[in-house]
Chains A and B, each alone.
Chain A
């Protein structure tokens, strides 16, 4: 794992406007951002870039988010990387599916950029505390509100 000044977030989202919006807001919020538009690309970039966290949309072309998550979590090189699922369907089963696939947290779309950022910070904070890995990170007050 390379040492970075700022945590690297891989944003996996097939809808370009949303992907770029999250990326812009994450960079504005002090993160480094990489992007992937489908499941295959997501797996490749995660192995290649070793991001600190993956923001994974579940409905993806070519390979869906569940499959990608399963692969990442079963690969020794990427199994430690936390994955936050991003799902538009609040239908029953999606959350379960995401958890089963190995997601560490999930956020329901539509999700305002600041809510997303707050969730990412929470997961990273928890992770770093667990690993006793002190890291420079932007600390913001916890607002765990998913939906209004």
Chain B
């Protein structure tokens, strides 16, 4: 290598020596620029090196270039139409007389030489040495430096490539190691910004492009949670920090609980990093929760059992009957308060009381042992004689025992309920008494009933006998009155013949006597007829013959029948029947008999004045009312009832002046009753009497 210009070979030698020892590209480039400025007529110089990975042209050393141009410079090796890249691909140095407007370079618009940096002409250039201020012809020193630097750059870049390959191999190994770890591992800056993550961590924190919206959101959320966790512990963190971190499973959407272990790693060049390891403790937490839950359930169950037990105790204690539970040895394991009074008797200190308690216990034990020997039966009933420990009163009880078996069928306990029989026994005794009394009563009632039945039978027979007697009496009277009348008929007939001079003329005194015989015989006949009527009514042999008839016609008939007597009496007899009085349905003959009787009575007992016969209709009671009112002698109040009795006349002496049988009103009342009517009397002595006959407009059969 021969020097072209005045540059001494020492300077070149010194530079080459430096390059031999230099290992740094930047350093080598900077010395090269310095050398050019010092030894060649160069005003501006720059070294551009292509980055092996990115293909970016990087400015590694410069001189005389404005800082703005340095900052703005950016050029990719792939930009093949750029003059600088064209120069890079040429074999020889290229002179560029100012870059066109749209291309940029560190030397901007000035003219410069671009010398490709390469060791051999066969290999591609690694970079460019730009030299300005030397004119259109490149000087030999600059050319030499270009060749020398080209070799240096090629050497250094070749070494660097080797190192980088090894490093990346190591990094791959490291990555695969971290990925092999099942826990997510992250390398972040102190802010939590992700730098390196293994695949498990990526799943949580980095959503791929094609990920669903949910996944992306979950990843974003996890990042936030993680950053927050880191920042809260960033201050005061020494070596290793542990805390819990709740994240979201981006695929499942479920909660994942991690234990976060993070430590700081200090790097000289790149500052502080945080290495975090997440350990999944979700299952652990779940297990813990489950344990807590089951513990709580257990506590609740315990409390319930306690409550249940308490309730059971209350129930058992509230039962008035003693209840005891004994084990298979016969020992009492549980008893309620009433049972305690008998088998424990708290507070009973005296000897007698204690003895009774022991006796009670012995009795119970023997009963329970009976139950135990009959293990086949579920229930056992017996009676035990106990004693009240306090009072000493005998206490017969009914004992009802049931056995409780274990699941294996083993007899566990015997539950015994005692029921006080004192009352029951007393009740039974009383019941027995009652039953006896009842039996006695029944016997007496039966006796009485028997007597009563006997008496009833007797009465019935008497009644029949009486009825028969009554019928016989009526028959007898009927027959008798007939028999009476036969001779009376003859008496009346012969008297009549004598009085009619059939057997010759009678003298006046004879006539007088015959008249007495005649009137007495007639009176006797009337009596017999009346008695016959009463007999017939009482025997029920007086039939009703109902028909419809008017009262006015009836009155006229009665009046005409009594016309001779009315004439003789010199009394004014008036009748009044308003049109409002309806026809009556009844037994005409009997009504007529009553009215006849009433009118003849009125005529008989009225010495002077008048007799009025009136009829009216009581619509409310549907009765036709017939009144016969006279101005006669009247009847004193005390006698007003008597006049209706048989054989009653106010003056009952034979020498009475009124005649009649004394049976008339009695028959009238009987007849009125037969027709469903009534006869009433209103009278005042000396002022007259009024007899009122009330008859239903339609007679009912009686």
Contact = CB atoms under 8 A, between A and B. Distances in A.
Interface residues of B, number: 21
Interface in A10-58: 15, 17-18, 21-22, 24-25, 28
B590 interface: no
A90 B532 contact: yes
Contacts of A110: 485, 488-489, 492-493, 525
A92 B492 CA distance: 25
Contact of B502 (A15, A28, A88, A112): A28
Contacts of B543: 92
Contact of B489 (A24, A90, A109, A148): A109
Contact of A25 (B497, B532, B536): B497
Contacts of B522: 148
A18 B497 contact: no
13 contacts: A15-B486, A18-B490, A21-B497, A22-B493, A24-B497, A25-B497, A88-B482, A91-B541, A110-B492, A111-B489, A112-B492, A112-B496, A113-B497
A17 B490 contact: yes
B488 A91 contact: no
A104 interface: no
A89 interface: yes
Interface in B102-141: none
Contacts of B490: 15, 17-18, 21
Given A24-B502, A148-B522, A112 B493 contact: yes
A28 B541 CA distance: 40
Name the prevailing secondary structure of the B interface residues. Answer: helix
B497 A91 contact: no
A91 B486 contact: no
Interface of A: 15, 17-18, 21-22, 24-25, 28, 88-92, 109-114, 148
A98 to B, nearest CB: 16
A28 B486 CA distance: 22
A87 to B, nearest CB: 10
Given A24-B502, A25-B502, A18 B486 contact: yes
B475 to A, nearest CB: 11
Contacts of A114: 496, 500
Majority SS of interface residues in chain A?
loop
Given A17-B490, A28-B497, 16 more contacts: A15-B490, A21-B494, A25-B497, A25-B502, A88-B486, A89-B482, A90-B532, A91-B536, A91-B541, A92-B541, A92-B543, A109-B486, A109-B489, A110-B485, A110-B492, A113-B493
The 7 residue pairs across chains A and B that have the minimum distance between CB atoms: A110-B489, A17-B490, A21-B493, A28-B502, A88-B482, A110-B485, A112-B496
A143 B536 CA distance: 29
Contacts of B492: 110, 112
B478 interface: yes
Contacts of B494: 17, 21
Contacts of B502: 24-25, 28
Residue among A91, A109, A110, A113 with the highest chain B CB neighbour number at 10 A: A110
Contacts of A111: 489
A114 B496 CA distance: 9
A129 B478 CA distance: 40
Interface in B497-540: 497, 500, 502, 522, 525, 532, 536
A114 B495 CA distance: 12
Interface string B464-483: 00000000000000100010
Contacts of B541: 91-92
Contacts of A89: 478, 482
Contacts of B482: 88-89
Contacts of B487: 17
A148 B489 CA distance: 14
Contact of A91 (B478, B493, B500): B478
A46 to B, nearest CB: 23
